Amino acid sequence: MRPVMKSAALMLVCLLTAASAAPAFAEEAKASAKPDLAKGQLTSTNVCGACHTADGSRGSPANPILQGQHPEYLAKQLAEFKAGKRANAIMQGMSATLSEADMKNVAAFYASKEAKPGFAKNKDLVALGEKIYRGGIADRSIPACAGCHSPSGAGIPAQYPRLAGQHADYTEAQLIAFRGGVRKNSLPMTGVAAKLNDKEIKAVSDYIAGLH
Interval 120-158: pLDDT, tens: 998 889 999 999 999 999 999 999 999 999 999 999 988
Interval 195-212: pLDDT, tens: 999 999 999 999 999 998
Same domain, 131 and 95: no
Does the pLDDT at position 83 exceed 70?
Answer: yes
What pLDDT is recorded for position 32? Answer: 57
Does the pLDDT at position 9 exceed 50?
Answer: no
Local structure of 18: helix, strand or coil: helix
Interval 90-124: pLDDT, tens: 999 999 999 999 999 999 999 999 988 899 998 88
| Residue at which a domain ends, from 111, 138, 171 | 111
> Does some domain include residue 22?
no
DSSP symbols for 42-91 = HHIIIIIHHHH-TTS-S--TTS---TT--HHHHHHHHHHHHHTSS--HHH
Same domain, 132 and 204: yes
Distance from C-alpha of 201 to C-alpha of 176, rounded to nearest angstrom: 8
> Does some domain include residue 23?
no
| Residue at which a domain ends, from 111, 131, 153 | 111
Confidence of residue 1 (pLDDT cuts 50, 70, 90): low
The whole-number average pLDDT for the span 76-82 is: 98
Does the pLDDT at position 31 exceed 70?
Answer: no
Same domain, 138 and 199: yes
Number of domains in the chain: 2
What pLDDT is recorded for position 11? Answer: 45
The CATH number of whichever domain residue 132 belongs to comes to: 1.10.760.10
The whole-number average pLDDT for the span 54-70 is: 94
Same domain, 87 and 59: yes
Measure CA of the first residue to CA of the last residue in the chain; give whole Å. 74
Query: What pTM was estimated for this model as a whole?
Result: 0.83
Confidence of residue 13 (pLDDT cuts 50, 70, 90): very low
Q: How far is CA 7 from CA 4, 18, 41, 136, in A?
A: 5, 16, 54, 70
| Residue at which a domain ends, from 80, 111, 142 | 111
Same domain, 63 and 103: yes
Does the pLDDT at position 4 exceed 60?
Answer: no
Same domain, 193 and 135: yes
Expressed as residue numbers, the domain containing 167 is 123-209
Same domain, 104 and 158: no
> Does some domain include residue 31?
no
